[in-house]
Amino acid sequence: MRSRYTAYVIENEAYLLSSWHPSTRPRSVAFEPGQKWLGLTIKSVEAGGEDDDEGVVEFVARFRQGNTAHRMHERSRFSRVLGRWHYVDGEFPD
């Protein structure tokens, strides 16, 4: 999860796509011009351990777009494929 957040911060599209589950992976990732990521807080983790093949991470990411601060609250679902975690999809509780 933290590595994907960092990839958004530095706009590393290749990493984001390679860490996205093949069943839900988009063709490309659009980055918003002028968007500045300010921080990530992990709220909870369900499963996703050494012996698990699936997990859920709930987080809040803060960012600024122009002069306005925003927060994105998501529960992301991950699946392990060939020993590597991939983002599948997410729900937005707020």
pLDDT tens sequence across 55-91? 999 999 999 999 999 999 999 999 999 999 999 999 9
Q: What is the mean pLDDT of residues 6-14?
A: 98
94, amino acid identity: D
The answer on pLDDT for 1 being more than 90 is: no
- Domains, the chain, in order of start with CATH, read 2-91 (3.10.450.50)
CB-based contact 35:62 (threshold 8 Å): no
pTM for the model:
0.93
How much is the pLDDT for 12? 99
DSSP annotation of 15 reads H
